[in-house]
Structure 1
Amino acid sequence: MEAKQNQEVVVIMVPFPLQSHLNQLLQLSSQISSYNIPVHYLSSDIHRRQATSRAAATAYTRIHFHNIPLPPFVCPPPNPNSPNKFPVHLQPALLASLELREPVAAYLRRMAGEFKRVVVVHDTMMAYVVEDVSSIPNAESYSYNAISALAMACFIRPLPEQLSSMGLPVLEDELPEEISYITCLQFKHLSCRDGDLYNTSRLIEAPYLDILENVQEAKIRKSWAIGPILPPQISSSETHQFHKCLEWLDKQEGKSVIYVAFGSTTTLSDEEVTELAFGLERSRVKFLWVLRDADRGDVFDGDVRRADLPEGFEERVEGVGMVVRDWAPQLQILAHRSVGGFMSHCGWNSCVESISMGVPMAAWAMHSEQPVNSVLVTEVLKLGIAVREWKNKMELVKASVIEDVVRRLMASEEGDEMRRRAAEVGAELRRTTEAGGASRLELDSFVAHITR
């Protein structure tokens, strides 16, 4: 076993079982393992398969995947007509993850007998599951924050004056009652952590990282802004992944295509699909649209709803647009020379990837912390246009609005200026992850800390 070669330190990753969270800790696992530190990724086989089958990199051979079976759960299919876009259908799977505390604790104790130090890096939403770290003398834990620093700062009470003046939505109000219980439970068990990791960079979020680091109870802990957490290889020619949409993009002109995708936890209603289709068609801008429902609890099980497009739509847009119904390699798409804009739900993973690749956004927040991320992208960083104001979240976004936003982003001087700025910020952000860059130095610092 490779771990026997280094009896000093082992890193145990404990991800939250949602796609963007699984992916971020998988990428971080790959990065930390490159320092010749054994890394163990704890998840159910279902979620390990989900994460690795969708990942854009191949450097996972050094990672030890350990199966911790979830208790049985049954998730209903996502409801496209729900007034709240939050994926409440996943509640049974999220509740099942709370039952992992005992098997995770048993695994940590076993590792504590084999290594001098056990370092647990856990998603913030798994704090309850790793609570027993505090009872293991040679173990320590670090919370990995998979959302933006601005969104994390919005949970501080009382809200810092710097944020209250921004008119941000109250995130607690955006969580359905079924999910609030799980979130509150995690926050109650964060006090025993030894430090914080953030998937962001001081280049784009320095003021909000400062707020988080200056909260009284946080001053006793170290923190590291190590983002963006991206795979080392991105372009289609460098990875094992290839998708038909990349071949289509190869035939398009530079920066001419808007990429449209709403992540793994959003389901559009039939009305929304129709309005979006007509808006894209009438804009006369080339588009690549990933049209799929939110993930099920088990992404490998069950029939997937196939949303209906307007009659004749795909025939009318042939040569101008492409609709993809399956999982698409988002990072490779955003890195493609033909992509000049991204219509997105503003999940933090998508924001980080879009900013890193220098692609401006049409920000269309759907739920959770996404409206805060939208403000960061559009009003703070000036790297996007809002599709709608969050106060109008219950209103149907009409085709005319979508048409106007797409043209502004893709076919106007305003959009050209945004692309220029996005390219500059993206290049700077990527440099922070290279040797000697600010984010890379923080990752180096974290590794030095856990191997001290």
Structure 2
Amino acid sequence: MSNANEVTVVIVPFPAQSHLNQLLHFSLLLSTRSGLAVHFACSASHNRQAKLRLQGWPLSSLSSIHFHDLPLPPIPSPPPNPHSPTTFPTHLQPLFDATDLIRSPLSSLLLSLSTSSRRLVVVHDHLMSFAGLEAAAILNAESYKFYSPSAAFLCEAEQLRMQGTDLDELFSLEFRLFTERRRKHEFKSSGLIINTCREVERNFLEILATKEAYSGVPVFAVGPLNPAPRHNKTNITRNECLEWLDGHPPCSVVYVSFGTTSTISEEQVEQLAYGLLRSGHLFLWVLRDADRADIFTAESSSRLLPAGFEKAVEGVGKVVRGWVPQLDVLAHRATGGFVSHCGWNSCMEAMSCGVPVMAWPMHSDQPTNAMLLAEGLKVGLVVRGWDRRREVVAAERVEEVVRMVMEGEEGRWMREKARKISKAVRAAGEDGGSSKEALDVLVAHWRR
């Protein structure tokens, strides 16, 4: 830190898993570039969460990043409510509100780092806009906003705001008010960084460039940030899910996971269970509650399945009640389809691995992402349209969609399309690829 010519990059994530995951990948990617000192600043429990759920990188790579535990007092960590009228994770709102308390210690950290750096670069999650304001007060600092959802959703959200249309139903009222407060703290950043690539969202990135809100702001599409998956890696700690997948043929298993912020009702659990059983296909089902504010208070689920279900599916299905290394599961040769909520992390990982998606959006950007995969890229099917979001998906529909994706000519065509997308997405991050070029331009600008 004594090198006055050093460029210091401070990453400021929002403390929710999908946001932490993307920015940790980005931090690790930056740490491989010479001349950059990379710092990751979040609360102690969320730094620990990010490290614990590291995927695709060796644990030793974490030593290349300087982690800073910003103090955060104890906050309520209620469990998710599976009977809530909305699937948005309202139980996490106390955590979201508490991030205001990170501002002061973050300011002190940035000031300290700026004195021993030629240039201080602050990359903050779009929901941590005050970090940009703090950077603006430092002479040798500049800030960049990192947008964690898709470019498609960013275009849609901007259009709705221009029309004066509320984002009702996608988010809770409390979260919408929270984001409005954060928007008031926004400072025009030096650039916008998105975990996407032109091969997937070229049209939306071009539309974004025409939006008044991003006039004169360079956009860097640098995704996918997750490492290029390698099927059946042997140099990683083998999770029990991977051991189970090892025993099954290629493209034979349906992977079911609704991410870390979605919880489905008991009635829906039952219908999903019967639908998977009736499909006759192998399945790996992650049945867990949404994360709490502190995941270490409850890392697994006690959700009940229909009586006798787990015994009935022995040898056919596996139910897991904790977190799993999803990137490795999707990269496994046995995984042939993915029932997903369509969070952007999951979408990018599925596309990287060439796995078709059975889209089941719950909230936020997920309905937009589901349509992008199903109608735009043709690498998936929508299980339940957003217009029917309040309905319980019947077992018959689950069975129908699983069979469509896993069997027959339509399923084979979709799988081939997913493989082509996978090759294009991976190539984007390699030499000569659009995302690699965008990152090269960004880093070169920082080193100027």
TM-score range, shorter chain: over 0.9
Distance between the aligned counterparts of 1:409 and 1:233, measured in 2?
Answer: 22
C-alpha displacement of 1:421: 0.5
| Contact 1:101–1:130, Cα closer than 8 Å, also in 2 | no
Aligned counterparts of 2:327 and 2:3: Cα–Cα separation in 1: 34
- Residue in 2 that maps onto 1:409: 405
Preserved CA contact (<8 Å) 2:160 2:167: no
1:221-370 paired onto structure 2 within 5 Å: 221-231=217-227, 234-235=230-231, 237=233, 239-302=235-298, 304-370=300-366
After the TM superposition, which of the residue ranges 171-180 and 49-58 deviates more from structure 2? 171-180
Provide, for residues 380-427 of structure 1, a one-character-per-residue CA deviation record: whole Å limited to 9, x for no partner.
111100001111100111111101011011112111100001001101
Gaps of 5+ in 2: none
* 1:5 Cα offset (Å): 4.7
Distance apart, 1:173 and its partner CA? 4.3
Query: Which of 129, 138, 141 does residue 140 from structure 2 map onto?
Result: 138
- State the shift of 1:241 in Å: 3.2
Structure 1 unaligned segments of length 5 or more: list them.
162-168
CA contact (8 A) 1:154 1:171 kept: no
Could you tell which deviates more after superposition, 97-106 or 235-244?
Answer: 235-244
Q: In structure 2, what residue type is equivalent to 1:406?
A: V
Q: CA deviation at 1:160?
A: 8.7
Mapping of 1:376-391 within 5 angstroms?
376-391=372-387
Asked if the contact 1:331–1:353 (Cα under 8 Å) also holds between the matched residues in 2, the reply is yes
Report the AA paired with residue 386 of structure 2.
W
Distance 1:232 1:30, change over 3 A: farther
- In 2, distance between residues paired with 1:88 and 1:269? 15
1:74 equivalent to 2:76? Answer yes
Task: Map Cα deviations across residues 3-49 of structure 1 (whole Å, 9 max, x no partner).
Answer: 33564310000000000100110000000010021100001110011
Report the RMSD for the aligned CA atoms in angstroms: 1.8
- 1:231 and 1:352 map into 2 onto residues whose CA distance is 11
TM-score, normalisation: structure 1 = 0.95
Aligned mates of 1:212, 1:115 — CA distance in 2: 33
Return the alpha-carbon distance in structure 2 between the equivalents of residues 160 and 411 of structure 1: 43
Aligned equivalent of 1:151: 153
Cα deviation code 1:346-368 (max 9, x no counterpart): 00000000011100000000111
Q: How does 1:11-26 map to 2 (within 5 A)?
A: 11-26=9-24
Does residue 176 in structure 1 map to residue 172 in structure 2? yes
- Aligned partner of residue 120 in structure 2, secondary structure: strand
Could you tell me how far apart the structure 1 residues matched to 2:166 and 2:318 are? 37
Q: Which amino acid aligns with 2:20?
A: L
Residue of structure 1 aligned with 2:200, choices 201, 204, 209: 204
Report if aligned partners of 1:257, 1:285 keep a CA contact under 8 Å in 2. Answer: yes
Q: Is the 8 A contact 2:299 2:323 kept in 1?
A: no
| Residue of structure 2 in register with 1:90 after alignment | 92
Cα distance in 1 for partners of 2:256, 2:229 equals 23
Partner of 1:166: none
User: Sequence identity of aligned pairs in percent?
Assistant: 44
Once structures 1 and 2 are overlaid, which stretch shifts more, 86-95 or 314-323?
314-323
Q: Alpha-carbon deviation of 1:239?
A: 4.7
Alignment pair present for 1:44 and 2:43? yes
